[in-house]
Amino acid sequence: MKPNHDFAKHLKEDIPASLVVFLVALPLCLGIALASGAPLLSGLVTGIIGGIVVALLSGSNLAVSGPAAGLTVIVLDGIEAIGSFEGFLCAVILAGAIQIALGMVKAGVIGHYFPSAVIRGMLAAIGLILILKQIPHFLGIDQDFFGDIAFFQADGRNTFSEIGFAFANLRWGALVVGVISLGAIILWNQPFIKKSPLSIAPGALVAVLLGVLVNQAFFAFAPELAIQPEHLVQLPIIRDMGDIQQELDFPDFSQFLNPMTLRTAITIAIIASIETLLSIEATDKLDPEKHRTPLNKELRAQGIGNMIAGFIGGIPMTAVIVRSSANISAGGKTKMSAFYHGILLLFCTLLIPNVLNMIPLAALAAVLLNVGYKLTKPILYKQQWKLGYDQFVPFIVTILAILFTDLLVGIAIGMAVGFYYILRANYSTPFSFITESKDTHDHYEIHLSEHVSFLNKASLAKALDQLPEGSVVEIYGDNTKYIDYDVIEAIYEFQHVADERGVHVFLINMPLEGVHGMLSTGKKKLKREPVLVGH
């Protein structure tokens, strides 16, 4: 399907969705910047560019770009290796240029080789991690940064021990705010609300507003329950243009000559591109209208976004699945929902930071708990189970691997398991095997499939080795359009030893032109040529 560019027609869906994405993106931009060792404003700069610039250049209707938790360690290490954040910005610029080049040479094709089971596993894992990671914030414990997805945390705890610590030290005011906010979201998902005029307001916005009002009521009537500033959104306050110039960082161009700058840029470009392709593939699977995003165009858009971010003080960006899935679940229809979220980030940061700094993180945690549940619904596991082991095992392994490591390591493990099942399928289905008795000999027919690759060599060799002494085997290539040289070599090698076992081999209609000379000029000469019937 072609992307839908009728933006005006979908304003009533895109604007509410952009509000939800904005509420999800705001704490993530700040939290990821903080965890990366970068200025807080750098995360917002990247979120704004991801919304305003990349959304318009992208070929995706629903993907949202911004700072990614998967890059925090790379950013932290890059700043330390280069020596300054200003020098690191040069690496961001170079990384963007590399991504543009990757798009130009059509490297986006890599995205088509991610197995579906692994992509679904990634989505389910992200949903599960969102739930587990937001529980501490829901309980008022914010020691781990908002948006972290790694199992082992900077505070020395892990995903599960952090939950135990949160329950042991919960803050009742945050819990009350979280429960009320989550209750509002659940209520707004009910059919009677969706059919009423109240549905014009997104449930996430209602939840956040209620969280602010409840906390303000605590300040007035129950100060002991009031949520303190360290557990609220913490935007930098910008009063005038002078503050903007003071808060923004610009690249130190002398660091382009630093070898560590190029090394860091290459690392960012590769990891950011992989994360983007994964997120785009996952977003396309979630898209109700099943649009297909042009992946090379997406790499170019991300590259342009990263170059701009580097020039004006932003950290690296990717297409990000949490914000993209929030966009989809909120009903976004076109790329304008991502664009509007970028506009909201820009104007709210400039005009109403004091208002935004009243938002409790517990209320935002409730929003992400809802997003997480939609990504990892129990029915998804049931559906994958029904597809069979070759789909369920890579799916569940990917989930567990991501949960107990991080996104990229988990995906790598899931891909390895996924490819194992692909190779096993190729190993087991390159031919059909027919057995019958003729005279006093066991007679076998092997009918090769249309394409026989080197992946099929082992299974064919195994089948030939198991033939009993004194048998006759006919290998048919009637329907074969391509047979790999490695497979032909395996057949000839078997024929070389078949005489010793009294096995008679006949090749019938095999596409073997040009291979006789190659096989007979090797180190060992074949005893005899195969019989070619009807060739």
Q: How many Cβ atoms sit within 10 Å of the Cβ of residue 331?
A: 16
Answer with the residue of higher pLDDT: 429 or 268: 268
Q: Tell me what pLDDT residue 467 has.
A: 87
* 8 A C-beta contact, residue 95 and residue 317: no
Residues 6 or more apart from 526 whose CB is under 8 A from it? 492, 495, 496, 519, 520
Q: Tell me what pLDDT residue 469 has.
A: 86
- State the average pLDDT for the chain: 89
Report how far apart, in Å, the C-alpha atoms of 86 and of each of 18, 26, 83, 313, 369 are: 31, 23, 9, 8, 36
CA distance 69 to 443: 62
For domain 431-533, give the fold: Transcription Regulator spoIIAA (3.30.750)
The residues that bridge with 443 in the sheet, in sequence order, are 436, 472
pLDDT in tens, 193-245: 988 888 889 999 999 999 999 999 999 999 999 999 999 999 988 877 777 77
Q: What is the DSSP letter of 452?
A: E
pLDDT in tens, 399-452: 999 999 999 999 999 999 988 887 776 665 556 666 665 555 688 888 887 777
Report how far apart, in Å, the C-alpha atoms of 510 and of each of 460, 474, 477, 494, 514 are: 15, 11, 4, 16, 12
CA 72 and chain centroid, separation? 16
Report how far apart, in Å, the C-alpha atoms of 72 and of each of 33, 119, 236, 413 are: 8, 22, 20, 21
Q: Which amino acid is at 143?
A: Q
pLDDT in tens, 292-337: 899 999 999 999 999 999 999 999 999 999 999 999 999 999 999 9
Nearest one of 130, 33, 26, 40 to 72, comparing CA atoms = 33
Given a cut of 60, is residue 517 above it in pLDDT? no
Kindly indicate the confidence band of residue 518, based on its pLDDT and cuts at 50, 70 and 90: very low
In the chain, domain spans? 10-389, 431-533
The dihedrals phi and psi of 275, each to the nearest 5 degrees, come to -60, -40
The residues that bridge with 66 in the sheet, in sequence order, are 318
The residues that bridge with 476 in the sheet, in sequence order, are 447, 508
Residues 6 or more apart from 486 whose CB is under 8 A from it? 454, 457
Report how far apart, in Å, the C-alpha atoms of 518 and of each of 227, 297, 513, 522 are: 79, 44, 11, 7
Radius of gyration of the chain (CA): 29
Q: Tell me what pLDDT residue 533 has.
A: 38
List, edge to edge, every strand of the sheet that includes 431-438: 431-438, 441-448, 472-476, 504-508, 531-533
pLDDT in tens, 335-361: 999 999 999 999 999 999 999 999 999
Retrieve residue 264's tokens.
């860091």
